[in-house]
Structure 1
Amino acid sequence: MLRVGVVGVGMMGQHHVRVYSELAKEGKVELVGIADANFERAKELAKKYGTTPYADYRELVKEKLDAVSIAVPTSLHREVALEFIKAGTSVLVEKPIADTIENGQTIIKAAEEAGVTLAVGHIERFNPAVLRLKELIDRGELGKIVTITAKRVGPMAARIRDVGIIIDLGVHDIDVISYLFGERVKTVYSRAGNVLHPAGVEDHALITIGFEDGSGIVETNWLTPHKTRTLNVVGTGGIAYLDYIEQSLKLYNHEWIKEAKIQKREPLRNELEHFIECVETGKRPIVDGEAGLHALKVALLAQESARTGKVLEVGE
């Protein structure tokens, strides 16, 4: 049984704790401990889920865990991930993999040299509706894919951010669109701005990403009063409408409308079960370090494009 832990128990990290606790009750893992600089928060969650709280994540490193989820602010990903990797612990780093390309590359290299599993928490890849859509695209149900458009908008969440909307939310759909096309992004062009945030921290953006023979568009903001998470795929043989939240998927062509059968399930549960399986078997994660790094690179270029007004090449 794998010995696991969580570092950072804020908005996302607390859900990692909850799911690991559920898996522990099923005898699949042992939740050894959780760490957060807000020790009162850590103690509260530890009591709720029957584990040990730590104020300093380095104390959790000493526990020699098999696997850990890292859900701290993006600027701390490199520091925390490297400590666990050096201790021989496999890591799942919440998206994005790091705050810079160089730091992301450092994490990937360290994991490879240590022989531990590295996964990046792009949770939408484990959404049952996305998985079903990918299956239908690969089967040719929509013909040749021409465009994919995503809308990820909603009100400003009450949490501290050290990144803008493109890195925080836009990166989700950058990754999913690349996954659905089955190739990496070639070019990026975006427009972005800040209404409620200080200069340099964009809170709305429209991102266009180009592929070999197709394009994707991501609309994202923290300004819309209601939460929307949708994605539309246009192909030569039909169009698909996906709702991330409802986990629903409808397909249209010239003759019929179909709704895909989807076994609804919590994406995070799918993600953590997959991570555990990879740690146990040595299987490569669906969203490995390189996939996470590509999504980060495109997001950073989208920020640069918004500043310069230029179409930018992603490169290798």
Structure 2
Amino acid sequence: MKVNIIGAGNIADYHARSIKALGYELGIIADFNEKAARQLADNYGCRWTTNTDELLAEKADLVTVAVPNAFHFDVAMAAVKAGHAVLCEKPMTRSAQQSRQLVELVEQNGQPFFVGYMKRVHPTVQKFRDYVARIGTMRSGLVRVYHPMPSSSWSIIRNQLAQSPNAALDGVFVNSGSHMLDLLLYLAGPVKKVLAARMQYQEGCYPKVDQMTHALLEMENGATVTVECGWLPLFGVGKRENGWDELIELRGETGLSTLHTTLWERPQYESPVAELWDESIKTKESFNAGMVDNFQEEYRLIEKALSGEAVALATAQEAFAVDQLIDDIFAAARQTGE
């Protein structure tokens, strides 16, 4: 499988590393920043260009879109129009309106399109789906997303916003929460209504970069789900006491299922853990599939999908549902005065 990458930043490095580790061909990397494109290409022994059109004119099995969030829409649209199968980093776009346009184009062109919600591909998450099926009628849920962030980071963000008020920056809800919203929809089904939402901001960061987001959701299946996201300077909390406090808990009439996710950039050290309390047999089960690199697993599944196999990758339509939910929660927060 030959893969070309648009973007040469930090996330592109994870993609390039996985492509090479799996023995796939990394053809060319494109980025308007010549230094970044050259350095990443040199690191992985491939060609580079500052011209995205040059990359899109080249034949490949897959084009990976790994640019900043603000450019996902334009770059992904161009890749689809050029006839490529695409893997777009999450979130698919920065608005439901843009996502709807992209979904329509993908459906018109008929080429495979995947979105980088790679947490769902881990074998432990697939086992957790089985656990969720055993909890009976779902009544409630909790999505928790707390990531450690030094207090000093906020002065950097404030300065950036002061210098560039129109900078396309995102806060905790989009950057950290979107992965878990994808898992919620994947595991519990669609949201019927956002009942309430509130966001909190550091001074000088409103309305661009939220520090905390809370939402209350009514699911189509009748359950009520609480969502809480935050960037806080807490480095000893969470299941592994490393500051990463992230889980999904789904509670039903006959059981309780809990998924503890892990620091995404450390797959060689940590694995998600799935747990189930089954009331019918009065037993607790736990499952850990071991160390699996989500980025590599994502590309393995893409290769299968391009061969026609059904896989657990996020589609454009599923990613649109996440972007719509994000928009709806932002709208609900504005109604309550954030």
Q: Normalised by the size of structure 2, how large is the TM-score?
A: 0.82
Instruction: Quote the Cα distance in structure 1 between the aligned partners of 2:9 and 2:275.
Output: 34
Equivalence for 1:87: 82
Equivalence for 2:252: 235
Structure 2: which amino acid aligns with 1:49? Y
* Contact in 1 for aligned 2:276/2:286 (Cα 8 Å): yes
- Structure-2 change in CA distance of 1:107 and 1:305 (3 Å): same
Instruction: Quote the Cα distance in structure 2 between the aligned partners of 1:268 and 1:70.
Output: 14
Structure 2: which amino acid aligns with 1:38? N
Equivalence for 1:143: 136
Equivalence for 1:298: 325
* Contact in 1 for aligned 2:132/2:257 (Cα 8 Å): no
Equivalence for 2:31: 36
Structure 2: which amino acid aligns with 1:206? H
Aligned ranges 1:195-206 → 2 under 5 Å: 195=202, 198-201=205-208, 202-206=210-214
* Contact in 1 for aligned 2:214/2:226 (Cα 8 Å): yes
Moved more, 280-289 or 6-15: 280-289
Pair 1:190-2:197 in alignment: yes
Pair 1:247-2:272 in alignment: yes
Instruction: Quote the Cα distance in structure 1 between the aligned partners of 2:203 and 2:21.
Output: 38
- Structure 1 gap ranges (5+): 311-316
TM-superposed CA distance for 1:294, in Å, is 0.6
Aligned length: 302
TM-superposed CA distance for 1:260, in Å, is 1.9
**Cα distance per residue 1:77-99 (max 9 Å; x no partner):** 12111221122111111111112
**Cα distance per residue 1:237-295 (max 9 Å; x no partner):** 22233211131122234533322252441222222222232223275763111110011
TM-superposed CA distance for 1:155, in Å, is 2.8
Instruction: Quote the Cα distance in structure 2 between the aligned partners of 1:179 and 1:216.
Output: 14
Instruction: Quote the Cα distance in structure 1 between the aligned partners of 2:244 and 2:312.
Output: 29
Equivalence for 1:309: 336
Aligned ranges 1:66-85 → 2 under 5 Å: 66-85=61-80
- Structure 2 gap ranges (5+): 158-167, 235-242, 263-270
TM-superposed CA distance for 1:305, in Å, is 0.8
- Structure-2 change in CA distance of 1:197 and 1:58 (3 Å): farther
Aligned ranges 1:1-316 → 2 under 5 Å: 2-23=1-22, 25=23, 29-138=24-133, 140=134, 142-156=135-149, 162-181=169-188, 183-188=189-194, 189-195=196-202, 198-201=205-208, 202-212=210-220, 213-225=222-234, 226-245=243-262, 246-253=271-278, 255-281=282-308, 286-309=313-336
Structure 1: which amino acid aligns with 2:250? V
Instruction: Quote the Cα distance in structure 1 between the aligned partners of 2:288 and 2:244.
Output: 24
User: Aligned-pair RMSD on alpha carbons?
Assistant: 2.3
Equivalence for 1:314: none
